[in-house]
Structure 1
Amino acid sequence: MNRNDKQAYDRGTSLFSPDGRIYQVEYAREAVKRGAPVVGVRTTDGVVLVGQRSAPSSLMETKSIEKIHKLDDRLGAASAGHVADARKLIDFARTTAQRERLRYGEPIAVEVLTKALTDNIQESTQSGGTRPFGASLLIGGVQNGDARLFATDPSGTPQEWKAVAIGGLRNDIQEALEAGYTDDLTLDDGLALALSALRAANDELTAEEVNAVTLSEAGYTELGEDELAEAFADAAPDEADGDEA
């Protein structure tokens, strides 16, 4: 294959290369890896979502950076990747959740919302004149009393997790999560694990750069500054350190 043929597959948003790859989807995944990380942890009584807000300048208001979003009373999402792409996906998820409430008078299930969202993402990989979304989401919530946590991929693939990280430093954070996760974690334990995993991957992280929410039967709860600062101080990185790969 000559160079021009390779460039043709590289530019096509819906073309498979001879080895079965869609390069634009892989580039979208790289965009996700360049984003600030977010972490989700499923616990016995809910889901914890934690995001790192990285400001490009000391003059930017860190609070204006949105990493975690409310979708419904017991549903939330955290995003990594291109902010504009993530906002479009969040808007789609919110509209879908609201439509379900209006139509059936009850909240949408976490898995149903995730699959509706990933169906929308997948369409962008097979339609002319579009490009894949350069963002991934963690979607968490409580469904019939059970905590559920899903991650989306730019290819349109949904995956369910017990604990997962997306965005920058993903491998280091995931290693810390795997070392520290147990099936009997409480919400407080899940928050401590998520924060310690972030700190293990980035020892320069500060409490001001982090925001976190919990999703439980009590609803969508965003942690206040004082509560988050206390939890951040208690989350020692060595609690989630694992062996080097």
Structure 2
Amino acid sequence: MYGVSPQAYDRAITVFSPDGRLFQVEYAKEAVKRGATAIGICSKNSVVFVASKTIHSKLIVADSLKKIFEVDEHIAVTASGLIADARRLVETARVEAQRHRITYNEPAPVETIARSVGDLLQVYTQYGGIRPFGVSLLIGGVDSSKRPELYEAEPSGAMTAYYADSIGTAKKEVDEYLEKKYKPDMTTEEAIKLAVEALKKTQEEATPTNLEIAYIPVTTRKYTTLDEKEIAKYLK
């Protein structure tokens, strides 16, 4: 018998290959691998996000390229892959967060928002006439449990909780570095330093312009960003 090439199964999202693969979902994961690296870390008193931005031209206004998004005051998201796809998912997360707040008069649990995003990602792997989202998200925050939480949502809809995680082009190298250096009792400042060090080891140049840093502390549960001067301190 002649072997069947992947091309026979990758034209429609609803068709499995004989070995149980959905090629369009796998291609979406490849899009994530081509994106700039983003990192999320749970410290003992916050959840930290550090994201690298690819700035192709000096004519680009760097602030217009966003890689970290506020979902609610206690939840944020960073993304790698097709950022236009990420904006659609972020909007879904924001609507779900506001719906929960209005319905229950309380901030939405981080896991609830992560699951709503994962559910939407999964739907886009199941029906014809659509394509999977070409993006992975790190969703983190501090809810009423006052415990830092971090989740990764993949194009397949899979959702996994992490203490520290990365997505994007340097995921393998960064994850290996995090596994060696991460400590659950590290402070916010130590977590930021760890993420920046991991990025500096995997990219040619890290500058205040091409990095975004944000965190959500346990004390206030308020989304906080660092400006370029504050970011520069971590690059010395």
Name the structure 2 match of 1:243: none
1:213 equivalenced with 2:195 (yes/no): no
Query: How many percent of aligned residue pairs carry the same amino acid?
Result: 40
SS of the residue corresponding to residue 212 of structure 1 reads: strand
Name the structure 2 match of 1:228: 231
The 2-side partners of 1:64 and 1:23 are apart by: 33
The 1-side partners of 2:130 and 2:162 are apart by: 29
Give the AA of the match of 1:199.
K
C-alpha contact 1:100 1:108 (8 A) present in aligned 2: yes
1:11 equivalenced with 2:11 (yes/no): yes
Q: Rate the CA distance shift 1:128–1:2 in 2: closer, same or farther, 3 A.
A: farther
Name the structure 2 match of 1:202: 203
SS of the residue corresponding to residue 28 of structure 1 reads: helix
Name the structure 2 match of 1:145: 146
1:182-193 aligned within 5 A: 182-193=183-194
More helix by share: 1
Deviation at 1:205, TM superposition (A): 2.1
The 1-side partners of 2:2 and 2:16 are apart by: 16
Alignment TM-score, normalising by the size of structure 2: 0.95
C-alpha contact 1:69 1:90 (8 A) present in aligned 2: yes
SS of the residue corresponding to residue 137 of structure 2 reads: strand
Summarize deviations over 1:108-141 as a string: whole Å, max 9, x none: 1011111111011100101111111000100010
Does 66-75 or 202-211 show the bigger shift? 202-211
Name the structure 2 match of 1:108: 108
SS of the residue corresponding to residue 59 of structure 1 reads: coil
Name the structure 1 match of 2:56: 56
C-alpha contact 2:208 2:229 (8 A) present in aligned 1: no
C-alpha contact 1:47 1:140 (8 A) present in aligned 2: yes
The 1-side partners of 2:208 and 2:174 are apart by: 17
Gaps in structure 1 of 5+ consecutive residues: 234-245
Aligned length: 233
The 2-side partners of 1:75 and 1:23 are apart by: 32
Give the AA of the match of 1:227.
E
SS of the residue corresponding to residue 229 of structure 1 reads: helix
The 2-side partners of 1:147 and 1:95 are apart by: 22
Does 1-10 or 146-155 show the bigger shift? 1-10
Name the structure 2 match of 1:166: 167
The 2-side partners of 1:206 and 1:104 are apart by: 42
C-alpha contact 2:36 2:80 (8 A) present in aligned 1: yes
C-alpha contact 1:176 1:200 (8 A) present in aligned 2: no
Summarize deviations over 1:152-203 as a string: whole Å, max 9, x none: 1000000011111101111111111111101111111110001000001114
The 1-side partners of 2:211 and 2:123 are apart by: 33
Deviation at 1:232, TM superposition (A): 2.1
SS of the residue corresponding to residue 207 of structure 1 reads: coil
Gaps in structure 2 of 5+ consecutive residues: none
Give the AA of the match of 2:24.
Q
Summarize deviations over 1:41-80 as a string: whole Å, max 9, x none: 0011110001111112121111110100000111000011
Give the AA of the match of 1:125.
T
1:74-153 aligned within 5 A: 74-143=74-143, 144-153=145-154
Does 114-123 or 2-11 show the bigger shift? 2-11
SS of the residue corresponding to residue 201 of structure 2 reads: helix
Deviation at 1:5, TM superposition (A): 6.2
C-alpha contact 1:54 1:62 (8 A) present in aligned 2: no
The 2-side partners of 1:221 and 1:13 are apart by: 39
